[in-house]
Amino acid sequence: VRFPEDLEDDNTTFNPEYSHQVFGDDEVAFGYKGLKILLYYIAGNLSTLFRIEYTSKVNEKFDCVEADDVESKIREIIPPGFCTNTDDFVSLLEKEVNFKPFGMLLHTYSVHNEEAGEDITYQIYKADMTCPGFREYHERLQTFLMWFIETASFIDVDDERWNYFLVFEKYNKDGATLFATVGYMTVYNYYVYPDKTRPRVSQMLILPPFQGEGHGAQLLETVHRYYMSSPTVLDITAEDPSENYIKLRDFVLVKLCQDLLCFSPGKLMQGFSQEMVMEAQQKLKINKQHTRRVYEILRLRATDMGDAEQSRSYRLDVKRRLIGPYKKKQRELAKMRRCLRPEELTNQLNQIDLNMQHEQLEESFQQLVSDYRRVLERLAQA
């Protein structure tokens, strides 16, 4: 909500992707007709208005069943101090002009908005719990995780090893410059013996109204650039990354790596090398596993897949990596031959059908190439 009229504007409304973490696996609130759970956030500081509306509700006295206590379920995830009536909320909205982003400005960029017909400015900040007011703001911000990240949990903000990176949109209201929350990322700094750290991305969310505009890529690249300048950082990784995050990371890392000398077309065609691993880690804080994916994507760009020899060489190179888990199964099988009785061995062999392995390998390869092509298409448009 930026203006009072946004309260009545359905165009500013967005619905949760997930509600099982609040309402159970069935995602059901029992006992209501026409139930509406209304959560409004002021665009900048995320002050909250919470209301429940319904046309009717079951009554224990007459219906012998009790309706779910929806209000207490929501209260469990939103911090105290929220508004319950519109007038209080609108009076807070008038004070929004005083809200300023927390922490240190890292990056400013603009995105062309077709609807508005103009470039809109965005800024990325790094904050921590020592910033006045940030702890309370973060409590409100993290409530979005419950609706948009499938396995979300709230973090221990008293642990000083957390870093917070925030994206804001700058906009004008009555001649004043205001800021709207776009999204954020939390990163945990793990200790690596003897004197390094390994920042690990824990949570990343771009709010639905801003998705598909490139903010995730801007945020991830900014975070990488922030840690790249630190001599104590070994590499950057992610906790339990989703498929969408992996695709985003592929794009950002390829964009960062494509100008390194070790990824020149001539060197790409000679195969994956230790030089690539070293340069990507030292200059860009990228680990070996992610560097290998970057190499495969850039080599695909340098490969003429219409040329039989080049195409075959690329396919074999990628499949040699993909076959790793299958080779592990073969080693396990060799152990089984020494330990199992014949009938037990036959049972295990049935589970490791070689033809099926070849089919699965080819399927994995084709899926990978399809994903890689999408990264290259996005890179060509960047």
Q: Which of 53, 118, 160, 239 is catalytic?
A: 239
Compute and round to an integer the Cα radius of gyration of the chain: 26
Q: Using alpha carbons, list the distances in angstroms from residue 170 to 107, 237, 258.
A: 13, 30, 31
Q: Is 299:314 a contact under the CB 8 Å cutoff?
A: yes
Q: Is 178:133 a contact under the CB 8 Å cutoff?
A: no
Check residue 191 and report its DSSP letter.
E
Q: Is 204:185 a contact under the CB 8 Å cutoff?
A: yes
Name the 3-class secondary structure at 125: strand
What angle (nearest 5°) sits at the alpha carbon of residue 75, between those of residues 72 and 80? 140
- For this structure, is 60 an active site residue? no
For the chain, the first-to-last Cα distance in angstroms comes to 31
Tokens of 137: 């703001």
User: Is the previous residue joined to 194 through a cis bond, with omega within 30 degrees of 0?
Assistant: yes
What angle (nearest 5°) sits at the alpha carbon of residue 135, between those of residues 131 and 136? 120
Burial zone of 254 (CB within 10 Å; 0-12 exposed, 13-18 middle, 19+ buried): buried
Burial zone of 336 (CB within 10 Å; 0-12 exposed, 13-18 middle, 19+ buried): middle
Check residue 122 and report its DSSP letter.
E
Q: Give the residue numbers annotated as catalytic, written as ranges.
A: 239
